[in-house]
Amino acid sequence: MISINDAFKKFKHRLELTEGEQKDASRRQNDIREYLREEFEIERDFLTGSYARWTKTKPLKDVDIFFVLGMKEAGYRKQKPDVILGKFRAKLARKYGDDRVALGRRSVQVDFGVEAVDDTSGDQVMSVDAVPAFESAGHFEIPDREAGEWVSTDPEVHADRATKANQAFAEEWKPLVKMIKKWNQVVSKPLKPSFLIEVMALELFVPPFRGGYPYELKGFFATAADRVGDTWHDPANLGPAVSDQMDTTRVREAIAAFRRAEEMASRAIRLARDGNEGEALREWRKLFGPLFPLS
């Protein structure tokens, strides 16, 4: 039987992107980048989001690309967010099909029709999100359909904060974030957006890493249950709070989910301490789904 420690190491490895996934993601996102460069004046485009920060969990979807628009497109900045997002959608739908392209809150998603089985997508990326942006005062402004306005952000600051947190936590911060994101998927995503998990983890995981995934996760779940209702600001100190989707109902659901997770983690730790590792492994699998190994 696999030990708890080895099971978590294996789980950590399973959450890492495979070479095949990275190649497929590179091919897909480069196709979109080349196409949109022909349709708009784009000063530069680059990968952002959890994929670029190496905090993306399985299955691989929602790979974010920032498209920084040039002066010829400046007129869009004076219009409502729906205009540029609608334009991006129309252009992408012409290439990928109307039923494969959808408007998001701040992006346009291209769905490649890949189905996930047991939390994996067969080394294929499931979707890519195209985010139109303009440079502004050293940062960026992107359209926000829900807010009805352009909002400030800086994904490069987000990436830097994640890198520093990972270094301070013995390179275990990002793996733990991916594990918690996987848990969030398993329990039907009470936390939205998933970036909120990263923002909370910047504060709730206090270095140094003391060793032992079970105890770090149990501690996170316990503290998060008490803190999820806080206002969690953008790490770049720009734009709206990252927690702005967490209304009273969602916060209540998240608190309950975190408390259940803490109870399950505590039970798994007790089972392992009492020598019942098989049951402990099954308890962790209930938390994290089929990617968590039993052997």
CATH number at residue 56: 3.30.460.90
Both 61 and 48 in one domain: the answer is: yes
The verdict on residue 110 lying in a domain is yes
Q: Which domain holds residue 25?
A: 17-153
Both 100 and 185 in one domain: the answer is: no
The verdict on residue 164 lying in a domain is yes
Both 129 and 218 in one domain: the answer is: no
The verdict on residue 295 lying in a domain is no
pLDDT (tens place) for every residue of the chain, 295 residues total: 799 999 999 999 999 988 888 888 889 899 999 999 999 999 999 999 999 999 998 888 889 999 999 999 999 999 999 999 999 999 999 999 999 999 999 999 999 987 876 677 667 888 999 999 999 989 999 999 999 999 999 999 999 999 999 999 999 999 999 999 999 999 999 999 999 999 999 999 999 998 799 999 999 999 999 999 999 999 999 999 999 999 999 999 999 999 999 999 999 999 999 999 999 999 999 999 999 999 9
The one-letter amino acid code at 197 reads I
The verdict on residue 294 lying in a domain is no
Both 265 and 284 in one domain: the answer is: yes
* CA dist 274 → 116, 246, 278 (Å): 36, 38, 11
Both 49 and 143 in one domain: the answer is: yes
Both 107 and 189 in one domain: the answer is: no
Which of residues 123, 153, 183 is at a domain's end? 153
Both 208 and 256 in one domain: the answer is: yes
CA torsion sign for 278, 284, 286, 288 is negative
Question: What is the spatial distance between Cα 160 and Cα 10, in angstroms, rounded to a whole number?
Answer: 27
How many domains are there within the chain?
2
Closest CA to 293 of 51, 11, 1, 81: 11
Which of residues 153, 186, 209 is at a domain's end? 153
In eight-state DSSP terms, residue 154 is -
The verdict on residue 69 lying in a domain is yes
Task: Give the phi and the psi of residue 67 in degrees, each rounded to 5.
Answer: -115, 105
What is the pTM (predicted TM-score) of this model?
A: 0.94
Both 220 and 282 in one domain: the answer is: yes
Question: What is the spatial distance between Cα 30 and Cα 45, in angstroms, rounded to a whole number?
Answer: 10
Both 23 and 149 in one domain: the answer is: yes
The verdict on residue 32 lying in a domain is yes
Both 221 and 141 in one domain: the answer is: no
Which of residues 153, 169, 187 is at a domain's end? 153
What's residue 289's pLDDT? 96
What's residue 118's pLDDT? 64
Both 32 and 142 in one domain: the answer is: yes
What's residue 17's pLDDT? 86
202-208 long-range contacts (CB < 8 A, ≥24 apart) are 202/161, 202/162, 202/165, 202/235, 205/165, 205/169, 205/173, 205/176, 207/168, 207/169, 207/170, 208/168, 208/169, 208/170
Both 122 and 59 in one domain: the answer is: yes
